[in-house]
């Protein structure tokens, strides 16, 4: 009787941890688990939903083109609804409509400098003309002579060229004098002034942090004067990023310590140089500076002081962080070493940011073009001034919101495809025991699996990020519109909500990336993969905190190294160039570009490290090194686990749970 009770109770104990029992993950399933064998399509309904959504995006583009928006955008139209360069139909109750503009192919604005800063558009009468005035026209006689010679009337259609200097109507229906020299914009047939100085106010309205217009002009002057140096420094940051990727591939064992030493020397050197330059320029006699350059010298001195103080604070904070994490730096060496092997076997991983960036640029170009089409689509409506504007009425006016959601979702979908591609390639490498049996191009094999099986999973994961990103963007828009009008409590609540949504978005992005890895291993749907990845991450919470945090920090040090090196070179070049003005903005541009380039390259390495860690955790969960359940992991990773266990025991920080969790890996390492 007792034996029968025992036999009945044995099947109930199918899970090892309470978390597995809660999520109903059977322990017995581990014995039958084999990675990369089961291939089936996942999340097909979400793939169909995404395809329908993309069809809707195509409908918006087709609708705007079919309703004539494409012709109005490319060819342009005048203030009476006539499209330039073609015959036009008469619009009801609108004068000067229905004209034949076959020979008038360019849009000309009577007052191109009359800008509406609120709506960010030119607020002027627009006419269709045969040619743009290539030279400045100072008087109405010059305008009349231009019309007689070129056959291009620059005044209203109701006024003949011979009446330009005779009628009183010319003051309101002829261009504002002097007429600036202009040239047609390629492909868009608009006459744009050659000298864009009249658009300075428009640019200043977009740049809200500049209170003094003269500062803006000096900043732009500094950028234009130093454009060759800026281009060279941007190229330098690209070369440094490529060199760092090569170093990561071949000397990953000592890379951590090299980066640490170089960052210490770079931060100390950069801070010292900034204080030296500040002291040197402060001691220089101001009497030798001519009055025109005195303001420039003061701006540069003030910028140097700000840079020096910021660099000092940054160096102190960096030293404190490295002091706290110095004992955990060694934990990342083994993982970096395996990641270096991945890049040796999968060299095409380095170029993943280029393909993703190229796909994003193509989609953004399409999105912006469709947005411009939507801006000129709709029915002709007469505004308060009696001119024609095109507006969409009815339910179709909400296509803007659909188009904006499409921007976010499809952009996140493209980024998620990159994550799934990288995860699939790294998973194939990790769970292939004999690396000589790897596919000829694991990246292309991963892309093939993505397209055949997992597009629905990627669509679902990117949609979840979109659901979090849209409310955050709406709150940010509300905060910008109510800036200075809301009370302190409302401002605090808005910022808190924005911060919480941002944190939620980052957590979901990290969980999505691990879910894609689980999908690449087991070919399960998104929810199942996210649940499995969550269980693995919770069970290995200490290792996630130790390895991922330190690994990301070391990659951040690599980004800092590239930015510091590029910035230091920029300081030296800009300081000793004789014909520069204010080099605050050029240096900021160079540093931002250097960080962007370094981030694009090292983010792939960071992604590989995260995928390797999850593969390692899953490997130890389902295998124990016994016959038939051998480990897939690299021997270096086994040594890393064993050394970590010994270090924790010696330091008195390893509990019973850690010892139990690491015990199978120790036996696996010995058996291997």
* Residue 524 near residue 25, CB atoms below 8 Å: no
pLDDT 10s digits, 524-561: 899 999 998 898 888 877 667 666 666 777 778 788 88
Number of neighbours of residue 300 by Cβ within 10 angstroms: 22
Query: Coil, helix or strand for 137?
Result: strand
Residue 555 included in any domain: yes
Considering the domain boundaries, does residue 98 fall inside one?
Answer: no
User: Cα(206)–Cα(203) distance, rounded to whole angstroms?
Assistant: 5
Confidence of residue 262 (pLDDT cuts 50, 70, 90): confident
C-alpha distances out from residue 421 to 336, 534, 600, Å: 20, 21, 16
Q: Which of 127-131, 348-352, 590-594 has the highest mean pLDDT?
A: 127-131
Interaxial angle between packed helices 584-622 and 352-376, expressed in degrees from 0 to 180 and rounded to the nearest 10:
120
- What six digits make up the tokens of 58? 């195509």
Closest CA to 533 of 504, 505, 551, 512: 512
- Confidence tier at 293 by pLDDT (50, 70, 90): low
Q: Considering only CA atoms, which of 127, 122, 89, 121 is closest in space to residue 105? A: 127
> Could you tell me which residues come within 8 angstroms of residue 239 by beta carbon, excluding any fewer than 6 positions away?
none
Contacts of the segment 499-508: beta carbons below 8 A, 24+ positions apart: 501/468, 501/471, 501/472, 501/475, 502/472, 504/468, 505/465, 505/468, 505/469, 505/472, 508/464, 508/465, 508/468
Residue scoring higher pLDDT (470 or 628): 470
Tell me, yes or no, whether 535 and 618 share the same domain: yes
Q: Lowest mean pLDDT of 128-132, 217-221, 375-379, 610-614, name the range.
A: 217-221
**What pLDDT is attached to residue 188?**
80
Task: Give a yes or no: residue 227 inside a domain.
Answer: yes
Mean pLDDT of 434-447: 83
- The span from the first CA to the last CA of the chain, in angstroms, equals 44
For 388, phi then psi, to 5°, come to -95, 135
Q: According to the model, what pLDDT value does residue 418 have?
A: 92
Residue 652, sorted as left (phi over 0), alpha (psi -120 to 50) or beta, turns out to be: left
Distance CA 102, CA 184 (A): 17
Inform me whether the pLDDT recorded for 45 exceeds 70.
yes
pLDDT at 442: 86
Assign residue 421 a region (left: φ > 0; alpha: ψ between -120 and 50; beta: otherwise).
alpha
Domain contains 129: yes
Cis peptide upstream of residue 178 (ω within 30 degrees of 0):
yes
Q: Does residue 223 sit in the same domain as residue 340?
A: yes
Using alpha carbons, list the distances in angstroms from residue 344 to 338, 547, 600, 639.
Answer: 10, 22, 19, 21
148, 247: one domain: no
Q: Is residue 285 part of a domain?
A: yes
Same domain, 317 and 221: yes
DSSP class of 131: S
Phi, psi of 20 (to 5 degrees): -65, -40
- Report the alpha-carbon distance of residue 175 to residue 164 in Å, rounded: 11
Contact call for residues 185 and 192 (beta carbons, < 8 A): yes
Q: Do 269 and 156 belong to one domain?
A: no
Q: Residues, the chain, total?
A: 672
366 is a domain residue: no
User: Could you give the percent of the chain with pLDDT greater than 90?
Assistant: 11
| 494 alpha carbon, distance to own chain's centre | 24
- The pLDDT assigned to 27 comes to 40
pLDDT at residue 651 in the model: 60
Q: Are residues 194 and 225 in the same domain?
A: no
Domain that holds residue 336: 217-345+525-624
Residue range 38-62: mean pLDDT, rounded: 87
Two tokens, residue 164 = 């330009």
Give the pLDDT score at 169.
64
- Angle among Cα 604, 610, 612 to the nearest 5 degrees reads 100
Confirm if 604 and 349 have CB atoms less than 8 A apart: yes
Confidence at 466, pLDDT banded by 50, 70, 90: very high
Read off the tokens for 467.
Answer: 């659901």
Same domain, 339 and 223: yes
Q: Strand pairing of 121-122 and 126-129?
A: unpaired
**Same structural domain for residues 240 and 323?**
yes
The pLDDT mean for the chain works out to: 76
Structural domain total, the chain? 2
Do 178 and 222 belong together in one domain? Answer: no
Decide which of 590, 608, 624 is a domain's last residue: 624
| Domain end marker among 178, 203, 228 | 203
Taking only the tens place, the pLDDT of each residue in 641-664 is 666 556 666 665 444 444 433 333
Classify residue 415: in a domain, yes or no.
no
Strand runs labelled E in 29-157: 106-109, 115-116, 121-122, 126-129
Q: Of residues 213 and 628, which shows the higher confidence score?
A: 628
- Could you give the angle at which helices 526-539 and 488-522 cross, rounded to 10 degrees? 100
Tell me what pLDDT residue 575 has: 67
Co-location of 138 and 252 in the same domain = no
CB 489 within 8 A of CB 496: no
Q: Does residue 176 sit in the same domain as residue 283?
A: no
395 pLDDT above the threshold of 90: no
Please state, in angstroms and rounded to a whole number, the distance separating the CA atoms of residues 516 and 457.
8
Please give the pLDDT value at position 211. Answer: 39
pLDDT in tens, 176-200: 888 888 888 877 888 888 775 565 5
DSSP-derived pairing of the beta strands 126-129 and 182-184 = unpaired
Strand (E) positions, 336-462?
A: 379-382, 388-391
Which of 516 and 600 is assigned the larger pLDDT? 516
Q: pTM surpassing 0.85? A: no
Could you give the CA distance from residue 494 to residue 476 in angstroms, rounded to a whole number? 8
In a shared domain, residues 152 and 249 = no
Element (DSSP H or E) covering residue 270:
helix 252-283
Average pLDDT over residues 372-379: 77
| Domain stops at, among 147, 177, 203 | 203
In this predicted structure, the answer to whether residue 638 has a pLDDT above a threshold of 90 is no
161 found inside a domain: yes
**3-state helix/strand/coil string of 480-506:** HHCCCCCCHHHHHHHHHHHHHHHHHHH
Q: Which residue in this structure is represented by tokens 């281009």?
A: 231
- Looking at residue 115, its pLDDT comes to 62
Q: State residue 671's pLDDT score.
A: 33
Token look-up 């350059």 returns 293
Contact call for residues 35 and 521 (beta carbons, < 8 A) = yes
What pLDDT does residue 669 have? 33
Confidence of residue 332 (pLDDT cuts 50, 70, 90): low
668: confidence class by pLDDT, cuts 50, 70, 90 = very low
What's phi and psi for 317, nearest 5 deg? -65, -40
Whole-number percent of the chain with pLDDT over 70: 73
Residue holding tokens 């030293």?
319
pLDDT given for residue 407 in this prediction: 92
Higher pLDDT pick, 581 / 269:
269
């Amino acid at each position: 009787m007792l034996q029968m009770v025992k036999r009945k109770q044995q099947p109930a104990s199918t899970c090892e941890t309470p978390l597995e029992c809660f999520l109903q993950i059977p322990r017995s399933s581990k014995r039958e688990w084999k990675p990369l064998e089961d291939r089936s399509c996942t999340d097909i309904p979400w793939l169909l939903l995404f395809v329908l959504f993309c069809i809707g995006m195509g409908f918006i583009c087709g609708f705007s083109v079919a309703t004539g928006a494409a012709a109005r955008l490319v060819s342009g139209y005048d203030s009476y609804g006539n499209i330039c360069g073609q015959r036009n139909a008469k619009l009801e109750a609108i004068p000067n409509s229905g004209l034949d503009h076959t020979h008038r192919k360019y849009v000309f604005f009577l007052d191109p400098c009359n800008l509406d800063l609120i709506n960010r558009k030119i607020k002027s009468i627009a006419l269709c003309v045969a040619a743009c005035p290539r030279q400045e026209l100072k008087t109405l006689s010059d305008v009349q002579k231009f019309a007689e010679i070129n056959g291009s009337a620059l005044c209203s259609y109701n006024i003949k060229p011979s009446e330009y200097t005779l009628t009183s109507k010319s003051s309101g229906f002829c261009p504002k004098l002097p007429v600036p020299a202009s040239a047609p914009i390629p492909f868009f047939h608009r006459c744009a002034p050659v000298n864009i100085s009249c658009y300075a106010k428009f640019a200043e309205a977009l740049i809200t942090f500049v209170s003094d217009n003269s500062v803006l002009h000096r900043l732009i002057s500094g950028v234009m004067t130093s454009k060759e140096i800026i281009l060279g420094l941007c190229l330098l940051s690209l070369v440094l990023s490529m060199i760092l990727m090569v170093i990561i591939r071949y000397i990953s064992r000592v890379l951590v310590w090299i980066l640490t030493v170089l960052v210490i020397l770079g931060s100390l050197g950069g801070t010292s140089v900034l204080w030296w330059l500040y002291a040197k320029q402060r001691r220089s006699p101001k009497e030798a500076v001519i009055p025109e350059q005195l303001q420039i010298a003061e701006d540069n001195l003030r910028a140097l002081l700000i840079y020096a103080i910021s660099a000092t604070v940054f160096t102190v904070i960096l030293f404190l962080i490295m002091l706290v994490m110095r004992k955990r730096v060694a934990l990342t060496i083994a993982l970096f070493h395996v990641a270096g092997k991945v890049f040796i076997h999968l060299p095409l991983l380095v170029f993943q940011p280029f393909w993703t960036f190229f796909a994003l640029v193509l989609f953004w170009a399409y999105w912006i073009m469709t947005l411009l089409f939507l801006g000129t689509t709709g029915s002709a409506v007469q505004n308060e001034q009696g001119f024609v504007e095109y507006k969409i009425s009815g339910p179709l006016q909400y296509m803007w919101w659909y188009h904006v959601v499409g921007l976010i979702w499809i952009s996140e979908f493209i980024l998620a495809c990159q994550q799934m591609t990288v995860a699939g390639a790294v998973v194939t490498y990790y769970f292939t025991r004999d690396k000589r049996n790897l596919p000829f191009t694991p990246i292309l094999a991963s892309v093939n699996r993505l397209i055949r099986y997992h597009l629905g999973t990627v669509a679902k994961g990117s949609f979840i990020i979109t659901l979090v990103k849209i409310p955050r963007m709406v709150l940010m828009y509300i905060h910008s519109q109510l800036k200075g009008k809301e009370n302190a409590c409302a401002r605090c609540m808005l910022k808190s909500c924005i911060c919480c949504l941002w944190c939620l978005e980052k957590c979901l992005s990290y969980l999505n990336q691990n879910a894609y890895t689980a999908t690449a291993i087991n070919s399960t749907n998104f929810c199942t993969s996210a649940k499995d990845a969550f269980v693995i991450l919770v069970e290995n919470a200490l290792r996630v905190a130790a390895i991922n945090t330190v690994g990301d920090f070391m990659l951040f040090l690599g980004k800092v190294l590239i930015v510091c090196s590029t910035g230091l070179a920029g300081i030296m070049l800009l300081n000793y160039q004789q014909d520069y003005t204010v080099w605050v903005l050029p240096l900021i541009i160079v540093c931002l570009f250097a960080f962007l380039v370094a981030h694009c390259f090292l983010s792939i390495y960071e992604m590989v490290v995260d995928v390797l860690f999850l593969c390692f955790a899953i490997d130890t969960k389902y295998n124990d090194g016994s016959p038939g359940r051998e480990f897939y992991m690299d021997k270096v990773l086994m040594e890393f686990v064993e050394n970590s266990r010994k270090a924790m025991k010696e330091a008195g920080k390893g509990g019973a749970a850690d010892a139990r969790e690491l015990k199978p890996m120790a036996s696996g390492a010995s058996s291997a």
